[in-house]
Structure 1
Amino acid sequence: MTPQRINSRRQQRGLSFIGVIFVGLFIVCAFAIGGQSIPIFIEYLAIKKAAAKAARDGTTVPEVRAAFDRAAQIDDIQSVSGKDLEISKRNDKVVVSFSYSREIALAGPAYLVYRFQDSTQP
């Protein structure tokens, strides 16, 4: 063998077949979890928007809950309802707080849990 052939074999780099399989499995798992996570984050943003609107529109606790429930029907919010909100006043402004969790079943007894907690700014 010539020295050029020996050097070219040493310079070859890349993934083996098993490496490609592991990378492929990782990508498939990332897409599967991401595909289930995106709707959860979209719902969180809708809840945050509905809570802010309810805090602006309502002055009493029942008004705020009703305003949130109307927005929840429009945006198809399932995780939180008006009765789950914590409503208070700070400096004569309504503050709406919420806290909830959502989970994604991974495999067998394994779950991925998202916990959300937020409040509107006074």
Structure 2
Amino acid sequence: MIKYSKHSHQHGIGLLGFLLVLTAFGILGTVALKALPAYMEYYSIQATVNRIAHDPLLQSDSDVRTAFDRQMQVDSIHDVTGRDLDISGGVVAMRYQKKILLTDSITLLIDFDAASKP
């Protein structure tokens, strides 16, 4: 025989708590969706920098910069150019910032640092 108490309460999230959690996920989702293209472009730049740094046909700094400029047209890279490359000691690197407008008064600033692997 099972006895049920008159005062048993179910515990869980209430309507206000649910709305707060939903709002937090909505804000985080919006930030993630707006930042995703910048990160995709960064990974494209990183791959291009690695590919160009290990190309034995590119001997001078100007060859490396020209090759990067050609590749950025293919990969739809818009934020940087070959002039932004830092070439020293066989390592090709690039540092840049990306500003992403979230709302009229809130901007997200991301620092990117792409460098070729040895």
Greater RCO (Cα-Cα under 8 Å, separation 6 or more): 2
* Shorter-chain TM-score above 0.5: yes
Q: Give the deviation of 1:3 after TM superposition.
A: 6.9
d(CA) in 2 for partners of 1:50, 1:35: 24
TM-align CA RMSD: 1.7
Structure 1, unaligned runs of 5 or more = none
Instruction: Give the alignment's TM-score, normalised by structure 2.
Output: 0.87
If each structure's strand is expressed as a fraction of its own residues, which one has the higher value?
1
Of residues 25, 28, 42, the one that matches 1:27 is: 25
Q: Give the deviation of 1:80 after TM superposition.
A: 1.2
Q: May I ask how many residue pairs the two structures share in their alignment? A: 114
Matched, 1:105 2:106: no
> Which residue of structure 1 aligns with residue 11 of structure 2?
13
> Which residue of structure 2 aligns with residue 47 of structure 1?
45
Q: Give the deviation of 1:20 after TM superposition.
A: 1.2
d(CA) in 1 for partners of 2:109, 2:6: 54
Identity of aligned residues (%): 30
> Which residue of structure 2 aligns with residue 36 of structure 1?
34
**1:24-64: CA deviation from partner (whole Å, max 9, x where unpaired):** 11111111111111111111110011111121222101110
Structure 2, unaligned runs of 5 or more = none
Contact 1:65 1:83 (C-alpha < 8 Å) held by counterparts:
yes
Q: Give the deviation of 1:118 after TM superposition.
A: 2.8
d(CA) in 2 for partners of 1:95, 1:108: 39
Instruction: Give the alignment's TM-score, normalised by structure 1.
Output: 0.85
